[in-house]
Homo-oligomer: A and B are copies of this chain.
């Protein structure tokens, strides 16, 4: 028996007046999701707890059975793991922007003209830097999508209690990074970061990629701005914890990072953009082939509905949900699979950000106590047989249905 959790990121929503008081999921034509709801047990789920506005990262951790309040140290470590840095517990990870500075180091563009190509060459230059006096600290730097990148510091006596270099607005120089707790490790880390920011301008200002950009009238990516320091947590591997082989299909670096840090095999899907324009056919093929492979567990995250929610794009969200539904209709029958369809949080188009509302969840598979719910939606699910559960309940419920749990007691 295999277990599959499919998370449609940010799919849940609030009633919308343009949909006569329905949510996008309720208003969308979703015959396949409805069929799944009809053949399963439904409920609502608080990813963390009622009213808590979960991030995608903290919600996924909770759903995978990890306590986000103890494991989550910030976005940096997950982003870094997501772009393929083999992070290790104790590493200090940062999210970075490629930015443009003038000769006085005043930031003139926080996103380096929304640079889209050449960042891997620039990243290699930073990655090979050494900081004088701190040769025991390894600098790992990797480009992410667009103007985004990650920086990882590895070495002795480092700490994540440091402020951001990113000034958050243009016309200012990078902020001096400071210790936020006065510890010697954080003061040392701040000093290293300040030197990296300064040195990045020196090694990048005449970088071939930038000379070409300047000649073409584009803003050069000649400085890096780290922010969001986080110490890489010591996360128990999924397979160690549950004794099952796990794979992860995700579109965004953040969720790929969750897969990497928990020791799952992260399956890359070409054409998976994380937007509403993503290649759902490609994702479907990847799901089918991964399920035919030798895995016990598959985590799937599809991101477009969340993006549409953040953009306040009602039409886009509704249409994307219908596309995901169509993709589900094209999936072959899966025997001996315990399948969970849910969201990681609500991203109401009316709020354009995550909210703490519960999300609908349905579980299908052998042994499930099928209830009377006939459609998949926030309110229909609330009448289902699962009642109201939490993200942290999911792995226990799934492993029990997969007959992979030990009995507690006699």
Contacts and interface: CB of A to CB of B under 8 A. Distances in A.
Contacts of A398: 51
B409 A55 contact: yes
A397 B348 contact: no
Interface in A371-410: 371-372, 378-379, 382-390, 393, 395-400, 403, 405-410
B50 A396 contact: yes
Q: How many copies does the complex hold?
A: 2
18 contacts: A14-B368, A15-B368, A15-B370, A23-B369, A44-B385, A44-B387, A49-B393, A51-B397, A54-B409, A55-B408, A56-B410, A68-B409, A75-B409, A353-B407, A356-B397, A383-B383, A387-B388, A388-B389
A42 to B, nearest CB: 10
A58 interface: yes
Given A55-B407, A356-B405, A388-B389, 12 more contacts: A14-B368, A15-B368, A49-B396, A51-B398, A51-B399, A52-B396, A52-B405, A53-B406, A54-B408, A55-B408, A379-B385, A382-B387
Contacts of A332: none
Nearest to A394: B51
Nearest to A21: B370
Query: Is the interface on chain A under 10, 10 to 19, 20 to 34, or 35 or more residues?
Result: 35 or more
A148 to B, nearest CB: 12
A123 interface: no
A351 B405 CA distance: 13
